Amino acid sequence: MAKVLLEMKNITKTFPGVKALDNVNLKVEEGEIHALVGENGAGKSTLMNVLSGIYPYGTYTGDIIYNGEVCRFNQIKDSEEKGIVIIHQELALIPYMTIGENMFLGNERGRKYKLDWNETFGRAGELLKTVGLQETPQTLIKDIGVGKQQLVEIAKALAKNAKLLILDEPTASLNETDSKALLDLLLKFKKQGMTSIIISHKLNEISYVADKITVIRDGSTIETLDKKTDDISEARIIKGMVGRELSDRFPKREKHIGDINLEIKDWSVYHPLYSERKVVDGVSINARKGEVVGISGLMGAGRTELAMSVFGKSYGTNISGKLCINGEEVHLNSVHDAIRHKLAYVTEDRKGNGLILSNPIKINTTLANLDGVSSHSIIDKDKEYSVAVEYKEKLKTKCPTVEQNVGNLSGGNQQKVLLAKWMFADPDVLILDEPTRGIDVGAKYEIYCIINQLVAEGKTVIMISSELPEILGMCDRIYVMNEGRIVGELDGSEATQEIIMSCILKSSSKGA
Amino acid sequence: MNKAKTLDIVKKYTMILMLVLITAFFAWRTNGAILLPMNVSSLISQNAYVFILATGMLLCILTGGNIDLSVGSVVCFVGAIGAVLMVNKGMNMALAILIMLLIGIAIGAWQGFWIAFVRIPPFIVTLAGMLIFRGLSNVVLDGMTVSIQNCTTFVNLFGGGANCYIPDVLGGGGINMTCIVAGVIVMLIFIASQIIGRLNKKKKGYELEKPVGMIVKTVLISAVILAFTVRLAQHKGIPSVLIWVMIVILVYSYITSNTTIGRYFYAVGGNEKATKLSGINTNKVYFLAYLNMGFLSALAGMVTIARLTSAQPTYGQNYEMDAIASCFIGGASAYGGIGTVPGVIVGAVLMGVINLGMSLMGVDQNMQKVVKGLVLLAAVIFDVVSKRGGKLIEKN
């Protein structure tokens, strides 16, 4: 048996209100490629952040044993010194610097006051050869594609004398040729004795490169599969990923489904910056009154982009397609238009795009419908206060007063304020994007109750969620989306996690 | 929690406390000279432009810490045009005022367009404006001084000079009765508004402030109003410029705290993306902030030439810095979204008191700048550190 290079023992990490990791164990042997798989939010990235020192020693419990010694990393530099290098999903390169400069950023060649550019570019050139990238080290990062940038990241890791390479979704934004090249590169490194940990959603890629696969679910390690001894087919991995039972974590509701309220036909959207990239591709969906429609898919499937482009074109360029509300075609050119047509989009990023954290609850509650508490542009502050109190009570938001700043609330209560804001705007169709992300189980249940209440009032709820149990537990009908396209439509009663997952994976592997 | 609450309270009243302490300090060092009627009166007249400009600057800063560097030059340019129109061209005063205001608004629209719709950084646009309008002032005045001493109505209407006071219609010998009466009326209106507001809230069953706190606050503010008017009455009465300043303060206090557009300024600065996704046209909000800054710069321009009874190509220099400093000292956040008109006025008064106090003490002009710089830095450090929950050093 090969030497164990890294062992993470009983790692537990809590964020305010949420236990992200619960006694996680991971054992990686020298010279293997170890894959970490799990649903979004299962805790994979958190685990890697603990390993690399982004969450410093003391903010978690448990031990990291690397190369036979217990390590206590206080910052990324500490782990990098040991040869543990992480490459994040979001590339961290500076566009207007050269490849060489980027590779040695924070790790500069030469002396502090006299950088040695010959060594920088010379060494960079050697490493670029190692990763098989045919560019000069003087090329600017902005001039090369994402695939090549990913290779630069790997070369950068090599420049730090990486012994353990961690790749978080390395192929997420790569096309099939680039992905294949990257995976082959990992296999080549393996032959040279490099150890790697790879996080990926693309199970076909994992089957291709991984020696061992550790499955993480809900912050715990479920199992570790060995290529030599275990079955590592996609079906087997999926079973491990989604294995949990659906208990009564979801409130029941009576179905009263009415006419079609919202219909989107052949909807396509292009990326706002890279205008040749199609983010949403010919999507057609509909939603009825009193219905909860789910849109399932992995991160980056284009769900948020679809929702936001429908919501007054707040995302994307070159949007085409037909949008009908109540059977009439409408053209929503601004968020204001969308709100006027009784559409609401409750963002997945409540802190970044949803709430003004430095303002009190009452101001956040009325922001999308200030006209509702004012006449002739003059705000009736008393009315505003009573509206805020009304919604606070309706949604059972836990806070001392509505004068409290939203930034001081827990995630679940912030989510309720965000819902209150959009409910006060009095929409007929609500698009809820990841409505329970990062909130605890109790608050989730309350959010589900609010959703039931909304559809009972005859409203339409479109729920975007990466959590399969939630989609299955709440939705009457489910669309599965992948790579910008709708790849499946399922009835809520017949859908299972396995069916949804295989819808996604089948459509992915068509490309790969 | 408790620490945060204490910080909140400290933050809310620090500047008022600082103002009292600094005034007391100067009263002591100048043997009370700073509180003499003449000096109280000149505090208003000398700083009228700061009050007006700081109010406009607040709206820009609210949108996200954006500043307007061009206001000093715009003040000068608008003043120059006004002086040239009234003196050299002999234009009717009302028409000249109208033209000055329109030019101010046009300048605001010009800068606002680039900032709001094209999204050129405000720093760049207004830096350009600073150069452009300083240069144009020189062109308009041909590098010379234009005296407006003969435009007496204009000077009396906007000025803060020797004779620019509201006439004392009631008479009263050594003391200006009109001023006293006006002060008492303002005080009574203030007390009445407090009581009516409280009764209204009670009737509708809303949460009420603690009575003790409210009484203390009302009595203190009433006392300040009264003391202030007595001081003015002992000198020459109400400086006419005070009326303009009061109008600006009241109107903008109301707009920022009670109207939807006022709310938008705060929302954009608090979280622009969230504001956009709430159906608010954020471009328009930025545009209005700078449009309004142009308008108030024009008003400040009129006040400036009236006080100095002339227009010169060098007027208005560093006015933008006074306005910006007042905002930050007065509690506006350098990141936007936080700040109030009354706070900014306290900031401006604080700066004024420091200026006046040091001048009375005979502190060297250059040292005065050093002190003002340190006060500004301290105020912003306080803002940033208190936002970080009291930690001085940002975690790396």
What are the extents of the domains in chain A? 4-242, 290-301+332-511
| B1 pLDDT tier (thresholds 50, 70, 90) | very low
Whole-number percent of chain B with pLDDT over 70: 94
CB half-sphere exposure, A169, CA atoms < 13 A: 15
Q: Is the minimum CB–CB distance between A345 and chain B shorter than 8 Å?
A: yes
Size of interface A-B (CB pairs under 8 A): 83
Could A352 and B207 be called an inter-chain contact, meaning their C-beta atoms sit closer than 8 Å? no
Q: Look-up: residue for tokens 């992905």?
A: A179
A232-268 burial: b if 16+ Cβ within 10 Å, else e: bebebbbbbbbeeeeeeebeebeeebeebbbbbeebb
| Closest-CA distance of chain B to residue A329, Å | 20
- Would the pLDDT of B2 be above 70? no
- Cα separation, A200 vs B226, whole angstroms: 72
The amino acid sitting at A419 is L
DSSP A354: I
Taking only residues 173 to 202 of chain B, the set having a beta carbon closer than 8 angstroms to any beta carbon of chain A reads: 200-201
At residue A463, φ and ψ (nearest 5 deg) are: -110, 120
Half-sphere exposure of A22 (CA within 13 A, CB side): 10
pLDDT means per 10 residues, chain A with 512 residues, are 84 78 90 86 84 87 89 87 86 87 86 85 91 89 85 90 89 77 90 90 84 87 85 77 63 86 92 85 92 87 91 89 91 92 92 90 93 90 91 88 86 90 94 84 84 92 88 92 90 87 75 42
Whether the per-residue pLDDT at B280 is higher than 50: the answer is: yes
Distance CA A313, CA B133 (A): 39
Candidate from B204, B261, B271 with C-beta closest to A382: B204
C-alpha separations of B263 from A334, A338, A356, B282, B292 in Å: 20, 21, 12, 12, 16
**CA-to-CA distance for A37 and A43, rounded, in angstroms?**
10
Q: Do A4-242 and A290-301+332-511 come out as alike in CATH topology? A: yes
* Chain A closest-CA separation from residue B273 CA (Å): 5
- What are B15-63's pLDDT values in tens digits? 788 888 899 999 998 888 888 888 888 888 889 999 999 999 999 999 9
Residue B386 belongs to what H/E stretch?
helix B365-387
Residues 6+ apart with CB under 8 A from A114: none
Please answer whether residues A475 and A492 qualify as being in contact, where contact means their C-beta atoms are separated by less than 8 angstroms: yes
With b for 16 or more beta-carbon neighbours within 10 A and e for fewer, the B142-165 pattern comes to eeeebebeebeebbbbbbbbeebb
What pLDDT does residue A41 have? 67
Report how far residue A108's alpha carbon sits from residue A100's, in angstroms, rounded to the nearest whole number. Answer: 10
Give the three-state DSSP class for A378. Answer: strand
Contact A314 B277 (CB under 8 A): yes
State whether B275 and A356 contact (CB < 8 Å): yes
Of B206, B271, B337, the CB nearest to A385: B206
Q: Is A424 helix (H, G, I), strand (E, B) or coil?
A: helix
Q: How far apart are CA A307 and CA A325, in angstroms?
A: 14
The reported pLDDT for the residue numbered B5 is 62
The whole-chain average pLDDT of chain B stands at 88
Contact A378 B258 (CB under 8 A): yes
If contacts are CB pairs under 8 Å, which of residues 395-424 in chain A contact chain B? 401, 408, 421
Which chain B residue shows the shortest CA-CA distance from A401?
A: B207
State the smallest CA–CA distance between residue A272 and chain B in angstroms: 16
Which tokens is B37 given?
């009627």
Using an 8 Å CB-CB cutoff, list chain B residues near A357.
Answer: 270-271
Distance from CA of B275 to the nearest CA of A (A): 8
Write out chain B residues lying below 8 Å of A356, CB-based: 266-267, 270-271, 274-275, 337
Structure token pair of residue A122: 């010379």
Q: In terms of residues, how long is chain B?
A: 396
Domains of chain B: which residue ranges? 48-159+242-391, 165-238
Question: Are the C-beta atoms of residues A155 and A124 closer than 8 Å to each other?
Answer: yes
Are A381 and B258 inside 8 Å of each other by CB?
A: yes
From A239, A364, A134, A21, select the one nearest B275 (Cα to Cα): A364
Chain B residues touching residue A354 (CB < 8 angstroms): 274, 277
CB A453 within 8 A of CB A285: no
Say what the pLDDT of residue A511 is: 45
Question: Could you tell me the two tokens for A322?
Answer: 């037909």
Report CB contact under 8 Å: A359, B200: no
Question: Six-digit token pair at B176?
Answer: 């200006």
Distance CA A248, CA B17 (A): 57
Which of helix, strand or coil describes residue A466?
coil
In this prediction, the answer to ipTM > 0.90 reads no
Burial of A101 (0-12, 13-18, 19+ CB in 10 A): buried
Tens of pLDDT, residue by residue over B330-353, are 889 888 898 999 999 999 999 999
Q: Which long-range contacts (CB under 8 A, 24 or more apart) does A277-280 make?
A: A278/A484, A279/A305, A279/A316, A279/A484, A280/A305, A280/A306, A280/A309, A280/A316, A280/A484
Phi, psi of B192, rounded to the nearest 5 degrees = -60, -40
The distance of B56 to chain A (nearest Cα, Å) reads 20
Q: Do A368 and B278 touch (CB under 8 A)?
A: yes
> What DSSP string describes A56-73?
-TTSSEEEEEETTEEE--
**Chain B residue nearest residue A345, CA to CA:** B277
Cβ of A135: how many Cβ atoms within 10 Å?
17
- State residue A252's pLDDT score: 83
**DSSP-derived secondary structure for B18-60:** HHHHHHHHHHHHTTTGGGSHHHHHHHHHHHHHHHHHHHHHHHH
Residues on chain B touching A371 (C-beta within 8 angstroms):
260
Nearest to A71 by CA among A147, A148, A6: A6
Q: Residue A257 corresponds to which tokens in the numbers above?
A: 């489904």
Residue of B53, B71, B58, B60 whose CA lies nearest to B330: B58
Beta strands across the sheet bearing A220-226: A84-87, A164-168, A195-199, A33-37, A212-217, A220-226
Report the alpha-carbon distance of residue B67 to residue B127 in Å, rounded.
10
Q: Which of A335, A341, A356 to mutate to test the interface with B (most CBs of B within 10 A)?
A: A356
Residue B11 has pLDDT above 70, yes or no: no
Closest listed residue to residue A5, CA positions, set A50, A57, A51, A59: A51
A4-242 to CATH, choices 3.50.50.60, 3.40.50.1110, 3.30.365.10, 3.40.50.300: 3.40.50.300
**Alpha-carbon distance A451 to A435, whole Å?**
10
Q: Does domain A290-301+332-511 have CATH number 3.40.640.10?
A: no
CB atoms within 10 A of CB B186: 16
Instruction: Kindly report the pTM of this predicted structure.
Output: 0.81
Interface check for B258 against chain A (CB to CB < 8 A): the answer is: yes
Task: Identify which of A338, A355, A408 has the shortest CB distance to residue B274.
Answer: A355
Q: What is the 3-state secondary structure (H, E, C) of A110-178?
A: EECCEECHHHHHHHHHHHHHHCCCCCCCCCEHHHCCHHHHHHHHHHHHHHCCCCEEEEECCCCCCCHHH
pLDDT of B217 reads: 84
Tell me if A261 sits within 8 A of A288, measured CB to CB: yes
Cβ-in-10-Å burial (0-12, 13-18, 19+) of B57 comes to buried
Q: Across the interface, do B281 and A334 touch by the CB < 8 Å criterion? A: yes
What's the confidence (pLDDT) of residue B163? 66
Is CATH 1.10.3470 the right assignment for the domain spanning B48-159+242-391? Answer: yes
- CA nearest B267 in A: which residue? A356
Give me the residues of B, 264-323, that contact A with CB < 8 A: 266-267, 270-271, 273-281
Structure tokens at A487: 């790849």
Asked if A307 and A431 count as a contact pair (C-beta separation under 8 A), the reply is yes
Instruction: State the smallest CA–CA distance between residue A78 and chain B in angstroms.
Output: 14
Chain B residue with minimal CA distance to A386? B206
- Smallest Cβ–Cβ distance between A378 and the set B259, B279, B338 belongs to B259
Reported as a single tens digit per residue, the pLDDT across B90-137 is: 889 999 999 999 999 999 999 999 999 999 999 999 999 999 999 999
CA distance A132 to chain B (A): 35
